[in-house]
Amino acid sequence: MSDGETPAVPSLYEVLQLAKDYPTAGEEHNLLTLALAMPMGGLIIFDGPSSSGKTHSVNSASSTFTNHENLVYTVPTTASETALYYEFDKMNQRPVHNWGDLASMEKTWEPILKDHGDGRPSNRKVTDVTLGEVVDKTIDPPATLILQIATDNEDINLNDYAEIKNRALILTSDGSREQTEAVMALQAAVEARTFEPSVGEERAAQIREYMTGVFETAEIFRTRRESEKPMATFWNPAAEAIAEAEVIPPMFNEARRDNQRLFKFMRAVALYHHAERLMTFLEDGERVMIVTPVDCWYAMVIFGEKMLRSALNLRGHDIEVLSLLREKPSSYTVAEIQQMLIQGGHNVTDRDVRRSLENMFTKGYVIRHDDSPITWQASPMASYMDYKSKIDWEGVVEKAAETVRANLPAEQAEKYVERYCSPEAMIVQHPITGETVNILEDTSLDEELSEAEDELKEVLSTPLYKSADDTDTDESESDAEADPEPEPEADGSTQGTLTR
C-alpha cells in the first residue's frame, strides 16, 4: 500500500522459480497465471491430455503460499451434490477449490459451477441428520475455482457446457513431446539427487509470506453475497490505450468476455504488487487501487498470447487440423485426418482430432458432412484479413498519466505519474526469462504476439485447398501413399504426443 513501510515485493520471476522448485519442468506461463489468479481468479478451466501435469501444476503454484496444504480444497468428484453441501464448512474455509480431472459432468454440479463462476454463493436445502430437519446450506464462492478436464475423456466435452466455458479463464497443459522429455529429465535428476532448488530456504519463506499477504489483501476486493459491495475496487487508467491496440480480435462474441478476462488478469497483477501500488479515494468516495502500465505489460507477457487464441476460438490442436484441411480438396474422416497428421509428424489421438473438429465446427471453421462415416472439410470462412496488433507502450504510459491527471487532485496525480510513469519505472525484470528489460524498448512481447498472429494468418488467409497446381501435387502424393487405416475405436489410445 502507499502508507507506511511496505515489504519488498518479490519479483514475479522469483515466484516462478519457487513454483518450479516444487519441482516442475516447463509450464512457466501456466504456473504464473495460476499463482496470480488464485487470490481472486474466479473460474479457471485447466484442460489437457490425461497425465499431462494439470494437478501437479496446481500444486506447484499453490506451493508459493504459506501453509499451502490448507489453501486448496480438493473437491471429491465422485461425491453427490448433496454430499458437497454437507462439506460446506470445510469448503468455505479454503479459498481455492480444485475439481480434479472429472470423470463426468454430473448434472447437479453444473449449477454450482455456474454460481461460483459468476462469484455467487450456491445454496441448497438438505436434511440435517443430527437435527432431523431440512436446513439451508451455502457454499460461498471461492477466491478461485479450478476445474480440471482431460481432453481425452469421451464423457466430457466443453462445447456441451457453453455456460460454464464462457465464464472461465481457460488454460491448457503442455502435452508436447518436448515437455515430456523435460519432465523425464527432471524426474531423473530428482531420482539421482542432483536436483537443486533455485530459491534458498530463507528467501522462499519470505516469498511465501508475501504471497499469503496477497490473499489477505484480496479480501477487501471480494464479496461473498450479491447484496454486498466490496470495500475497494480497481481502476485501470491505461485500459483504453490497451483496447486501442486490439490485442483481442473481435471476430466472435466471446471476444467480449476475453477482453474482460484480460483486464481482470491485469487487476490480479496489480493486486500482487499491492505493497507498491497506490490506493486512494475517488470523488464519489470509492476506494480504488490504481493499476499501472507495468502491471498491464506483465499481464500481456504472461497471458496475452493465450487471449489471442481464445478470442479466435482456436485452441489445442485446432491450428494443425485446420491447416491440413485447408490444404486438402476433399472431406475426410477422423481416422484419415489423424493418419495424415501422423504422416506429417504430429502424433495425435483420434479423440484429439474429434474434439478439435467439434470445437471448430461450432464456429464455422469446418464443415461436417453427415455421411456414413461422417467426414469433415475446411469451410470457405473469411480470411484472417490483415489483422495485426501491436501495443504502443509509450502511448499506454502517456494515456495512463493523462487519465490520472484528469481524475485525481494534482498532488496525488503527480505522485502516481512520478512513481509509475517515469522512465525509471519502465525498467523491470522479465517474469519468464529473468532478464532486466525496459518495457518501452523490449520487443519480445510484440514478437510473441506477431508469431501467433502470423501462424493463424497463414492458416486462415491462404487460398482454400491451395492452388490448382498444389492440389494436383497433393492428390498425386496422396495416391502414392498407403490407404489410411480404418477409424480406430474411441479408446483414446495415442501414438505419441503432439509436437508444436
Give the range among 62-71, 171-180, 476-485 with minimum mean pLDDT. Answer: 476-485
Q: What is the pLDDT of residues 323-369, one digit of tens each?
A: 778 777 778 888 888 888 888 766 677 877 887 888 777 767 788 88
Mean pLDDT score across all residues of the chain: 79
pLDDT given for residue 199 in this prediction: 94
Q: What is the pLDDT of residues 459-471, one digit of tens each?
A: 555 555 554 344 4
H-only helix segments in 192-333? 201-218, 239-244, 254-272, 293-311, 318-327
Give the range among 108-112, 407-411, 454-458 with minimum mean pLDDT. Answer: 454-458
Reference 500, options 353, 282, 393, 348; nearest CA is 348
β-pairing, 279-281 with 287-290? antiparallel
- The residue with greater pLDDT, 114 or 289, is 289
Give the range among 159-173, 280-294, 313-327, 459-473 with minimum mean pLDDT. Answer: 459-473
If you average pLDDT over residues 443-449, what whole number do you get?
A: 65
36: cell is: 496470480
pLDDT at 475 over 80: no
β-pairing, 436-438 with 427-429? antiparallel
Give the range among 108-112, 170-174, 204-208, 382-386 with minimum mean pLDDT. Answer: 382-386
- The residue with greater pLDDT, 317 or 233, is 233
Asked if 311 contacts 258 with a C-beta cutoff of 8 angstroms, the reply is yes
How does residue 229 score in pLDDT terms, banded at 50, 70 and 90?
confident
If you average pLDDT over residues 277-297, what whole number do you get?
A: 91
Asked if 355 contacts 366 with a C-beta cutoff of 8 angstroms, the reply is no
Q: What is the pLDDT of residues 371-394, one digit of tens each?
A: 788 888 887 764 443 444 578 899
Overall size of the chain counted in residues: 500
- The residue with greater pLDDT, 8 or 418, is 418
Q: In what helix (H) or strand (E) does residue 280 lie, and over which residues does it extend? A: strand 279-281
pTM of the full predicted structure? 0.76
Cα–Cα distances (Å) from 461 to 62, 312, 330, 390, 433, in that order, read 42, 14, 19, 20, 33
Separation CA 303–CA 265 (nearest Å): 8
